[in-house]
A and B are shown apart, each in its own frame.
Chain A
Amino acid sequence: MSEVITANRLIDGIVVFQAENGWVEDFAQATIYDNAEASKQALARAKEDEARDVVVDSYAIVVEMRSGHYAPKALREIIRAAGPTTRPDLGKQAQGQSPRFVEGR
């Protein structure tokens, strides 16, 4: 099971994903953790960032391959990674940042 670590940025609440060099807004740049131990360690680093007041409410989400690209498995997380399904002009999808498979929705 592959996972990505996500959170909301403290200062503005924007959804962010853990990458090798910090937190990124674009799901496509998130680091994918392919085993439970790596994911656990990554989440521990995220909690340190919470303690440093960089992000809030960090947790791991399950991701899966769809059409050759990783995407969140749960609809809730797809919506967080892309934006409201009813407003393509809002959220990350408006900045070309949605997971690949939801592009052109």
Chain B
Amino acid sequence: MYRYDEFDAAFVAQRVNQFRDQVDRRVKGELTEDQFRPHRLMNGLYLQLHAYMLRIAVPYGTLASRQMRKLAEIARKYDRGYGHFTTRQNLQFHWPALKDVPDILAELASVEMHSIQTSGNCIRNVTADHFAGATADEIADPRPYAEIIRQWSSLHPEFSFLPRKFKIAVNAAPKDRAAIQAHDIGLQIVRNDEGEIGFTVYVGGGLGRTPMIAHKVRDFLPEADLLAYIAAILRVYNLEGRRDNKFKARVKILVHEKGEAAMREAVEQEFAAGARDGLELPRAEIERIRAYFALPALEAKKPVSERCERRRGKDAKFSSFMQRNVAPHKVPGYAIVTISLKPIGGTPGDCSADQMDAVADLAEDYSADELRVSHEQNLVLPHVALDDLPAVYDRLASVGLATPNAGLISDIISCPGLDYCTLATARSIPIAQRISQRFGDGARAREIGPLKIKISGCINACGHHHVGHIGILGLERAGEETYQITLGGSGDETASLGQITGPGFSTETVVDAVETIVSTYLGLRRDPSEDFLAAFRRVGMAPFKEALYERSAGSDI
């Protein structure tokens, strides 16, 4: 893992002291709320429905045990005993008091964490594949590049006041687990014919009220030009992006209005004109950063664990867990374990302080001290020996974290919605809870197969509903919550935006509508290997629309 050097540590400590002074002056009345708000937002502190909300960066979703323990300690000491992992691989505390936030930030700094650039019109936390550094299918670990971008973009003088927020994601496997085409810049690590590492660069993706899939602007960007090219994109955006209308200020709107070809030309011109000067990445520096992310020394083991297989043969629940929550590791005899934060009927992404401690202990005992946070609001133990899977499973089960539903219908992304968020127009968590209760994590969910449901409580789309196989958007009409459904969205390498089924559904009927969609899919799929998304892409909207609005009384509008 990356460790802070002296500069990083001093920088973060200085920021804590600066914010402590700002809070002190605010409480004494020396700063008005209008003066203070930009400062608190720059430190990830929002005012939400019930209280303040502190968003903490988990760079590229990587955590060490001591950091997870610190989050647990903060949850107990300063919050309400839990935290909420988000689609940005971050953690949010929903109840901190303003007066305590400087102390919380100091606690975070003691374990090399912070809340810098988790809000504001700057380059936000850089996200990455949550299986990075462990997955068998990656070309290279994407995190060193994400870390290089993090260092370069932190308090970058030119890019701290962009027209709007800016999100960058890096993925290195053919399977896109980082939803790069839904980001302002998406970087796909590739190799060219000479075997050199570089990036396919996507620009202008994003969700929110105007969802767009990103445009590919470069097939192969040499590794050394990473920062120079990103700087060129940002410079074009900073100069040409709209500042007259907040809702049209993201780079996706610029790319859309300017056109893909013109955007590419502008970026290439900027790049050629000297963005490279002084920004070419020295190979030694790349290697220095890469060394922090070296694969832990994992003792080679047999590719099949007899202990694990024996347990599998006699324990159906363990077998389900193996099937759904365990993925191949690049080292034989090891696996990547997804810890679902989607217990049936629970709040997606919520994790109690006790669970955080338990997961930290597991990482320390079985996963080389490493943890990951996924944008799907789950946790990951990236380096677990197959022989240890029964023990890891038992310990997860003892703290309610062994739900065997990764990638299934009850593994739902949901924003906090109207239960917490000041922007929300409808609740999203209760819908997620009812859907997960309806379909569960057992035989029925497995029969349905891979299916991603994503729920947002407003058009800002923090729940990524546009790229859900089934997307649900909560709106308010005449004082009532109503839910619009989209089908066929995808955030992976085959990215697409969902299509609206038709009129929305009420709180009472929306779960039945999902059931109708699922039943329709089960009735028309060629065989169980044709998953929901593939079936939808084959047959289109018509059979689902018919089932929802003509054959059933599902719609109430």
> Are the C-beta atoms of B99 and A12 separated by less than 8 Å?
yes
B residues 39-80 touching A (CB-CB < 8 Å): 47-52, 80
Closest to B481 in A: A75
B residues 11-58 touching A (CB-CB < 8 Å): 26-29, 33, 47-52
A74 to B426, CA, bound (A): 11
> Are the C-beta atoms of B50 and A53 separated by less than 8 Å?
no
> Are the C-beta atoms of A12 and B98 separated by less than 8 Å?
yes
> Are the C-beta atoms of B51 and A57 separated by less than 8 Å?
no
**Chain A residues within 8 Å of B47, by CB:** 8, 13, 56-57
The segment out of B286-294, B399-407, B427-435 that lies at the interface is B427-435
Count of A-B contacts with CB under 8 A?
73
CB distance from A92 to the nearest CB of B (A): 8
Residue in A8, A53, A73, A87 whose beta carbon sits within 8 Å of that of B51 in the complex = A8
> Are the C-beta atoms of B430 and A85 separated by less than 8 Å?
yes
Convert B336-373 into 0s and 1s, putting 1 for each residue whose CB lies closer than 8 angstroms to a CB of A: 00000000000100000000000000000000000000
Residue in B50, B99, B419, B420 whose beta carbon sits within 8 Å of that of A11 in the complex = B99
CB distance from A19 to the nearest CB of B (A): 19
How many B residues touch the partner, as a band? 20 to 34
Q: Does A61 contact B (CB under 8 A)?
A: no
CB distance from A57 to the nearest CB of B (A): 7
**Chain A residues within 8 Å of B427, by CB:** 75, 85-86
Residue in B50, B424, B430, B479 whose beta carbon sits within 8 Å of that of A91 in the complex = B50
Q: Does A38 contact B (CB under 8 A)?
A: no
Q: Does B155 contact A (CB under 8 A)?
A: no
Convert A58-87 into 0s and 1s, putting 1 for each residue whose CB lies closer than 8 angstroms to a CB of B: 000000000000000111100110011111
CB distance from A101 to the nearest CB of B (A): 16
Q: Does B140 contact A (CB under 8 A)?
A: no
Most central of A52, A76, A83, A86 by chain B CB within 10 Å: A86
**Chain A residues within 8 Å of B420, by CB:** 84
Count of chain A residues near B, Cβ 8 A? 25
Closest to B100 in A: A12
**Chain B residues within 8 Å of A13, by CB:** 47-48, 50-52, 96-98
CB distance from B22 to the nearest CB of A (A): 13
Q: Does B230 contact A (CB under 8 A)?
A: no
Q: Does B418 contact A (CB under 8 A)?
A: yes
> Are the C-beta atoms of A12 and B33 separated by less than 8 Å?
no
> Are the C-beta atoms of A14 and B51 separated by less than 8 Å?
yes
Convert A87-104 into 0s and 1s, putting 1 for each residue whose CB lies closer than 8 angstroms to a CB of B: 100110000000000000
B residues 394-443 touching A (CB-CB < 8 Å): 418-420, 424, 427, 429-430, 433
> Are the C-beta atoms of B52 and A10 separated by less than 8 Å?
no
> Are the C-beta atoms of B49 and A76 separated by less than 8 Å?
yes
**Chain A residues within 8 Å of B418, by CB:** 75-76, 79
Q: Does A32 contact B (CB under 8 A)?
A: no
Residue in B33, B49, B96, B479 whose beta carbon sits within 8 Å of that of A56 in the complex = B33
**Chain A residues within 8 Å of B51, by CB:** 8, 12-15
**Chain A residues within 8 Å of B48, by CB:** 13
> Are the C-beta atoms of B49 and A80 separated by less than 8 Å?
yes
**Chain A residues within 8 Å of B80, by CB:** 90
**Chain B residues within 8 Å of A87, by CB:** 347, 419
> Are the C-beta atoms of A14 and B50 separated by less than 8 Å?
yes
**Chain B residues within 8 Å of A79, by CB:** 49, 418-419
| Chain A contact residues, CB within 8 Å of chain B | 8, 10-15, 50, 52-53, 56-57, 73-76, 79-80, 83-87, 90-91
Q: Other CB < 8 Å A-B pairs besides A15-B49, A86-B427, 17 of them?
A: A8-B51, A10-B33, A11-B27, A11-B97, A12-B51, A12-B52, A75-B418, A75-B427, A76-B49, A76-B418, A80-B49, A84-B50, A85-B419, A85-B427, A87-B347, A90-B50, A91-B50
13 contacts between A and B (CB under 8 A): A8-B51, A10-B98, A13-B50, A14-B50, A15-B49, A53-B28, A56-B47, A73-B479, A79-B418, A79-B419, A84-B419, A87-B347, A91-B50
